[in-house]
Amino acid sequence: MLGNRGFTLIELLVTMAVLGIISAMAAPAMSNLIAQQELNKSVRDLAATLSQARSQAALLRRNITVNLNSTAINTSTTFNWAPTGKSIYNSTILSTVVFLPNGKVQTANDTNPNTSLKICETTYTGARAKIIVISFMGSLTQTEGTC
């Protein structure tokens, strides 16, 4: 006659311990992944807001203002953007970007033809940043950076 088939208590405890160790190793990697995805989402949202403002300026033939770090309601001539999650907008100098009807960009400091906007993710060690560069003609490029 065959004995009872199944697992002993010792086998179950060893399996649970191995699963616990593997889960503990995966948790930090998962939190870094979530932080990176929040940073990417903030950058995508900002790029979409800037592109939409540039299009609206050309379509309506009027200046369109983008307020950075603002959660106010958008109007026909003003768009607002704020970072999502634990991302932060890293600039105290530049709070607005204005798109002109001819597609060009106007900022508070017009001495530099390119405007850089830095978004940081600082929830873990080795803080990452993404930089969106707006050219004088309104085109956007993204680069990696540090905070």
Check whether 53 has a pLDDT greater than 90.
yes
Check whether 18 has a pLDDT greater than 90.
yes
pLDDT in tens, 65-118: 999 888 889 888 999 998 887 778 877 678 888 999 988 888 766 656 788 888
The pLDDT of residue 17 is 95
- Out of 22-31, 58-67, 138-147, the most confident range is 58-67
Q: How far apart are CA 115 and CA 89, in angstroms?
A: 14
Stretch (H or E) spanning 106? strand 105-106
Check whether 122 has a pLDDT greater than 70.
yes
> Could you tell me which CATH number the domain at 10-146 has?
3.55.40.10
Average pLDDT along the chain: 85
